[in-house]
Copies of this chain bind each other. A is one copy, B any other.
Amino acid sequence: MMSISIRDIFTNPDGFIDKDIKLEGWIKTSRASKNFGFIELTDGTSFNTIQVVYGKDIENFAEIDKYPISSTLEIEGKLVKSPGKDQSLEIQAKNVNPLCVSDASYPLQKKRHTMEYLRKIAHLRPRSNTFNAVFRVRSLIAYAIHKFFQEKGFVYVHAPIITTSDAEGAGEMFQVTTLDIEALAKSEPTEVDYSKDFFDKKTHLTVSGQLEAEAFAQSFKNIYTFGPTFRAENSNTQRHAAEFWMIEPEMAFADLNVNMDVSEEMLKYIINYVLENAKEEMKFFNKFIDEGLLERLENVVNNEFARITYTEAIEILEKADREFNYPVSWGIDLQTEHERYITEEVYKKPVFVTDYPKEIKAFYMFENEDKKTVAAMDLLVPGVGEIIGGSQREHRLDVLEEKMRNIGMDMDTYDWYLDLRRYGSVVHSGYGLGFERAVMYITGMKNIRDVIPFPRTVGNAEF
């Protein structure tokens, strides 16, 4: 008999009810009375478990409830509607065969564990309800992003991970090398000879694939990257990881309005995809992790996002009937408290803020006619603050060159980037979505360490 999965059962129960089935899985809980035993079985394919009921007639009846939690079983039996109220389906087992009996010291016993404890057993924590739901939803969000862009004809581009560019202060970087550091340290004082390094040059891990993405947008019109990026920042917060994934779409023949349209459509698409394909998991998050989550997400999906300029945002904040820790005036960078006030208390829905002072934004952003602001946009969402940042890019060679010179960039290193303005330059725009921020937002999880399979943070690169 072919094995089936718990996912098969819950996808199409009518196809299996009152039929003999076989399936394998792990014991989540197990108990037995004199004449009956009950196993809550999981096989990893579904957030749901299935109840297995067995009677005294089974040969190994006496041993079964001795198998420790997490032991691996093969079950043969009949799928029936459960007489109980809570559970609609159960298996009346004819055979309960132990495949691998687990050690009784299993660190994930059925009780409440702290998040800190679970992080220490990152190789086992996806077996817990919370992390099972988190990592399945993470996978669905990743897929929804690909699906959204592919259906719109965007080309997926793998931006390089190892780079010689220093990304102009976008963040602290990790160095990548094959030099023997230990030998260098032990040697008499000397200079580092990078011609002996693997790439003949000093190299780092990328902080963004945007510049490379722009080159491809000028070939394919619409492209997106989705890959890991790195920051060597010594910030031990709930929202910072040294290694995280980013999505960076880039579109030619697209101004800031198109940029906002696409990000709004994308965010709604992803949320809808998860709400539809992870119903059980989302109910779980709403109940145990973040009450009000579903309401908040429905609110995002069903509302048109607001669009205001930075200057309007400053006016709103100046008029606000409350004290901010960071005082407000035109020219400041918006802080999380400002962002959340605007999106949570004023608009009560996602808000795009556009046209920031050029001094607080990156060199590659398109300078507006007022010469004071750039065509940047940040998307602020209730509960989080900024979740997407983007801009129309400066496509005028002379304007860009002047800006780069003014901040002292190495023009040789970026000559290829300037080529994009020399040959076939075009109005273009793009944005960045921090993937883990999106996962946190959609699951309600509060710590970035709890949405990454094996998180890398200051002092921690275990597993």
Contact = CB atoms under 8 A, between A and B. Distances in A.
Interface of A: 3, 5, 7, 24, 26, 43-45, 70-72, 99-100, 102-103, 105-108, 121-124, 126-127, 131-132, 135-136, 138-139, 142-143, 146, 150, 153, 155-165, 172, 174-179, 181-182, 184-192, 198-201, 203, 205, 212, 215-222, 227-228, 230, 232, 234, 242-243, 245, 252-253, 395, 416-417, 419-420, 422-427, 452-454, 456, 458-463
B123 A416 contact: yes
A252 B131 CA distance: 18
B221 A44 contact: yes
Contacts of A416: 121, 123, 463
A104 to B, nearest CB: 10
Nearest to A105: B422
B175 A132 contact: no
Contacts of A187: 185, 189
A160 B45 contact: no
28 contacts: A24-B253, A44-B221, A45-B220, A45-B222, A70-B424, A71-B424, A100-B395, A102-B424, A108-B423, A122-B215, A124-B419, A126-B219, A127-B218, A136-B155, A143-B150, A146-B146, A158-B452, A158-B453, A159-B453, A160-B456, A161-B230, A162-B230, A162-B242, A162-B461, A175-B176, A178-B232, A185-B190, A203-B461
Contacts of A222: 44-45
Contacts of A127: 218-219, 424
The residue among A3, A100, A138, A142 with the most chain B CB atoms within 10 A of its own CB is: A100
A132 to B, nearest CB: 6
Nearest to A227: B228
A7 B220 CA distance: 11
B191 A186 contact: yes
B174 A177 contact: yes
A177 to B, nearest CB: 5
A79 B314 CA distance: 48
B426 A99 contact: yes
Given A102-B422, A163-B461, 5 more contacts: A7-B153, A43-B221, A123-B416, A176-B205, A199-B460
A267 to B, nearest CB: 19
A443 to B, nearest CB: 15
Given A189-B187, A424-B72, A220 B253 contact: no
A160 B243 contact: yes
A181 B189 contact: no
B135 A216 contact: yes
A139 B160 contact: no
Nearest to A184: B185
Contacts of A200: 459-460
A139 B156 contact: yes
